[in-house]
Amino acid sequence: MSWDRSIGRPEPVAALDRIRHVDDGEPLVSLLDAAPEIVIHRDSVIPYLRETVVRMLKDAQSRLPEGVRFGVTDAWRPLQRQVRIYERMTAWLKEAKPGVAAHMVKRTGNRWV
């Protein structure tokens, strides 16, 4: 397949839309309770992550040098928050780069959020 390399590979949005989103049922756990050694940097963070992710963070944290800690700036995000972030980021891009084509704004927003 050939594409214009100056704008990057086309996004397979149609293919992505066909993927079913199925929750695997793994529980969300509170970082505050399960991993108090992990720093949460913003009050707005909803501090829930999948149990496996918390376990991996804790394991990685235990391997860091003394005095060095992981920090979390974002965790679980409800859909409304994701939409709001996407809209703000694409609005910012349109303001910062007024001549950018709409498809490029969408593509960049998809990558950022």
Q: Give domain status of residue 90, yes or no.
A: yes
Q: What is the pLDDT of residue 60?
A: 96
Whether residues 49 and 60 fall in one domain? yes
Residue tagged 């293919």 (tokens): 15
By three-state DSSP, how is residue 51 classified? helix
Q: Give domain status of residue 2, yes or no.
A: no
Task: Report pLDDT digits (tens) over 56-84.
Answer: 999 999 999 999 999 998 888 888 988 99
Whether residues 71 and 83 fall in one domain? no
Q: In which domain, by residue range, is 39 found?
A: 23-76
Whether residues 61 and 87 fall in one domain? no
What one-letter code names the amino acid at 77? R
Return the sign of the alpha-carbon dihedral for residues 81, 70, 23, 27.
negative
pTM summary value = 0.65
